[in-house]
Amino acid sequence: MRRAIPLALLAFAPCAFAQTAWLRVGVECPNPSRVAALLDLPLTTYQCDAAPGMVEMAVAPGQLPILDFAGFRYKVMGKLHDPYDRRSDLVRPAATDYRNEYFNLAEIQGFFDNLALQRPKFVRRLQIGVTTQGRPIYAYRFSGFQTSPAVNPGKAYMFVGLTHAREWVSGSVVMHLGKSIADSLANAATRTLVGRRVIWIVPVVNPDGYDHTWTSYRLWRKNRRLNSNGTRGVDLNRNYAKGWGGEGSSGNPGSDIYRGTAPFSEPELQAVRDLAISIPNFSGFIDFHSYSQEILWPWSYTTASPPDAASLQSIAISIQSAMGGFGASYGQGQGSRALYVASGTSKDWFYDQWRAASYTIELRDTGQWGFELPSNQITPTQNEAWAGVQAFFSRVGS
Ligand code: 0X9
Ligand code: ZN
Q: How many angstroms is it from 48 CA to the middle of ligand 2?
A: 8
Contact 142, 199 (CB under 8 A): yes
Residue 191 resides in a domain: yes
My answer on whether 138 and 268 are in the same domain is yes
Mean pLDDT over the full length of the chain:
93
Q: How far is the CA of 306 from the centre of ligand 2 (A)?
A: 22
pLDDT digits 0-9 by tens, 31-90: 989 999 999 999 999 987 677 789 999 999 999 999 999 999 999 999 999 999 999 999
Residue 67: which CATH number? 3.30.70.340
Q: Is the confidence at residue 158, as pLDDT, over 50? A: yes
CA dihedral 301, 307, 309, 312 (to 10 degrees): -90
Within 13 Å of residue 326, how many CA atoms lie on the same side as its CB? 21
Inter-residue contact 27 to 67 (CB < 8 Å)? yes
pLDDT band at 272 (very low <50, low <70, confident <90, very high): very high
Q: Is residue 218 part of a domain?
A: yes
From the CA of 163, which ligand is nearest? Answer: 2
How does residue 362 score in pLDDT terms, banded at 50, 70 and 90? Answer: very high
Measure the CA–CA gap between 57 and 238, rounded to whole angstroms.
19
Same domain for 25 and 140, yes or no, is no
Around Cβ 290, how many Cβ atoms within 10 Å?
23
In whole angstroms, what separates CA 124 from the centre of its chain?
Answer: 24
> In the structure, what pLDDT confidence band is assigned to residue 10 with cuts at 50, 70 and 90?
very low
Same domain for 160 and 214?
Answer: yes
**What is the pLDDT at residue 17?**
61
Q: Identify whether residues 74 and 99 lie together within a single domain.
A: no
The kind and range of the H/E element at 137 are strand 136-142
d(CA 281, CA 157): 9
- CA–CA gap between residue 350 and residue 352 (Å, rounded): 5
286 pairs with which residues across the strands? 159, 359
Contact by Cβ (8 Å): 309, 357: no
How confident is the model over 113-146, as pLDDT tens digits?
999 999 999 999 999 999 999 999 999 999 997 6
pLDDT band at 5 (very low <50, low <70, confident <90, very high): very low
Hey, whose CA ends up nearest to atom 16 of ligand 1?
Answer: 340
Q: Do 124 and 201 share a domain, yes or no?
A: yes
Banded model confidence at residue 152, pLDDT cuts 50, 70, 90: low
Identify the pLDDT of residue 16.
Answer: 53
> Are 52 and 104 part of one and the same domain?
no
The residue out of 79, 106, 126 marking a domain boundary is: 79
Q: Is 49 in the pocket of ligand 1 (CB under 6 A)?
A: yes
In this structure, the answer to whether residues 68 and 120 fall within a common structural domain is no
Cα–Cα dist 241/243, whole Å: 6
Closest among 350, 339, 343, 337 to 250, alpha carbons compared? 343
In a domain, 45, yes or no: yes
Categorize the per-residue pLDDT at 3 as very low, low, confident or very high, splitting at 50, 70 and 90.
Answer: very low
Indicate whether 20 pLDDT > 50: yes
Nearest CA among 81, 100, 255, 72 for reference residue 169:
100
pTM given for the model? 0.94
Of 222, 289, 341, the residue with max ligand 1 atoms within 8 A of its CB, to mutate for a pocket test, comes to: 289
My answer on whether 29 and 123 are in the same domain is no
Rg (C-alpha) for the chain, rounded Å, is 20
Q: Is residue 231 part of a domain?
A: yes
Give residue 197's pLDDT band: very low, low, confident or very high (50, 70, 90): very high
Tell me the HSE value of 71 on the side-chain side, using a 13 A CA sphere. 5
Does 1 reside within a domain? no
The answer to whether the CB of 268 falls within 8 A of the CB of 236 is yes
Among 41, 58, 79, the domain boundary falls at 79
Q: Closest residue (by CA) to atom 14 of ligand 1?
A: 335
Q: How many Cβ atoms sit within 10 Å of the Cβ of residue 38? A: 21
Q: Which of 91, 92, 85 is nearest to 217 (CA)?
A: 85
End-to-end CA distance of the chain: 34
Same structural domain, 21 and 102: no
- What is the CA(364)–ligand 2 centre distance, in A? 12
CA dist., res. 253 & res. 261, Å (int): 9
pLDDT above 50 for 9: no
**197 lies in some domain:** yes
- Residue 20's domain spans which residues? 7-79
Distance CA(174)–CA(206), nearest Å, equals 14
Which residue of 290, 345, 352 sits with most ligand 1 atoms within 8 Å of its CB, as the best mutation to test the pocket?
345
45 in contact with ligand 1, CB cutoff 6 A: no
Strands 74-80 and 53-59: unpaired
The ligand 1 atom at the shortest distance from the C-alpha of residue 238 is 3
From the list 299, 386, 374, 373, the residue with the least C-alpha distance to 339 is 299
Tell me how far apart the alpha carbons of residues 172 and 108 are, in angstroms, rounded to a whole number: 8
Instruction: Grade residue 338 by pLDDT with cuts at 50, 70 and 90.
Output: confident
Query: Is 362 tagged catalytic?
Result: yes
Quick one: 124 and 187 in the same domain? yes
Torsion sign over Cα 83, 84, 87, 90: positive
Which listed residue (167, 362, 372, 384) is catalytic? 362
- Specify if 84 maps to a domain: no
Does residue 281 sit in the same domain as residue 212? Answer: yes
Q: In CATH, what number is assigned to the domain containing residue 307?
A: 3.40.630.10
Choose one of 19, 51, 79: the last residue of a domain: 79
Of the candidates 33, 31, 60, 58, the one whose C-alpha atom is nearest the C-alpha of residue 47 is 58
In short, whether 342's Cβ falls inside 6 Å of ligand 1 is yes
| 294 Cβ closer than 6 Å to some ligand 1 atom | no
**What residues form DSSP beta bridges with 296?**
333, 360
Pick the residue whose CA is nearest to atom 5 on ligand 1. Answer: 49
Ligand 1 centroid distance, CA of 243 (Å): 14
The fraction of the chain above a pLDDT of 90, given in percent, is: 88
| Nearest bound ligand to the CA of residue 300 | 1
Q: Are residues 392 and 289 in the same domain?
A: yes
- Alpha helix positions (H), 259-332: 267-278, 309-323
* Total structural domains within the chain: 2
Beta strands 282-290 and 357-363 are: parallel
